[in-house]
Amino acid sequence: MRLFGVARDVTELTEMRAALQARSEQLDIAQSLARLGSWEWDAATDVVAWSDELFRIFGLDRDNAPATFETYLSAVHPDDRERLKAAVGAAQETMSSFELQHRIIRGDGEERTLDCRGSAVPGGSRRMVGVCQDVTEQQRREDDLRHRADHDALTGLLARHRFEREVDRQLGLNARYGGSCATLVMDVDGFKQVNDTGGHSAGDLVLTGLADVLTGRLRETDVTARLGGDEFAVLLPSANGEQAAQLAGSLLDAIRDTGVTVSIGVAVAEGDGHDANEITGRADIAMYEAKKSGRDRVASS
């Protein structure tokens, strides 16, 4: 009996396979570090390939969750679902790409925010490829920075620049649709004495207490701000002079119960031709008139 055989040097092939495996592992690590998952979808067969990181982002087990477009879509927040379907459909129809941010709800109930980008593969197929990056923490940091920029650190009320934007926005609505709005500006009577006798901590308690009264007594549609120091402002959308003066009087009573008093100036704007500086300035002048007249009272411009 004779035996014949062929010996083949597979060293190069083995090395290539090892290199590919190493690159695959490196890609998986890179995706994990970036919280970036990739996907490929054949719309004709509904066959979808998800990277390991995409399964991790969605909180799904590769062995128990089918990698389909419906699986992806079912995890998308209901308020974002139609927007995503429209973006994907438009990209397929026009052989283009899409980019949008949407939320998902994981199996454990946690809500995450993803930046999703995809592109149709040219050549007549119905294939798409794309990536999804979990930007939840980045979004939270950005939201926190915006909140800090727009709000007073001590009281949590709006800061002056954000308040002025809200006033200008309301004045724009008045100019377009008609109607009126009012602005109240108030200042704590004798606040310097509070700081001098009790220190800044006592002053801070007065300011936070005043902020609590304002937020507790006003409507959800009203806008409250700390302009700086012991000066506060309120925007009353759709309020006329009589309504604004009546509310200002009730605020005087409520604030008086906290052990301090304020002087309040009221300014009303109707129709077109107003801006935040003008109406807030008039309310500020009226507030000083209230102080000159004896404090703990309301004056209108």
Pairing of strands 298-300, 262-270: parallel
Considering the chain, tell me which residue range(s) the CATH 3.30.70.270 domain(s) occupy. 154-300
Q: Would you say 145 and 213 are in contact if contact means Cβ atoms under 8 Å apart? A: no
CATH for 154-300 is 3.30.70.270
Q: Would you say 130 and 72 are in contact if contact means Cβ atoms under 8 Å apart? A: no
Please give the class, per CATH, of domain 34-140.
Answer: alpha beta
Considering the chain, tell me which residue range(s) the CATH 3.30.450.20 domain(s) occupy. 34-140
- Using one digit for the tens of pLDDT, what is the confidence trace for 200-238? 899 999 999 999 999 999 999 999 999 999 999 999 999
In this structure, what token pair is assigned to residue 98? 């899409």
pLDDT the model gives residue 185: 98
pLDDT the model gives residue 155: 97
- Using one digit for the tens of pLDDT, what is the confidence trace for 179-190? 999 999 999 999
- The mean-pLDDT minimum among 28-32, 139-143, 161-165, 285-289 falls in 28-32
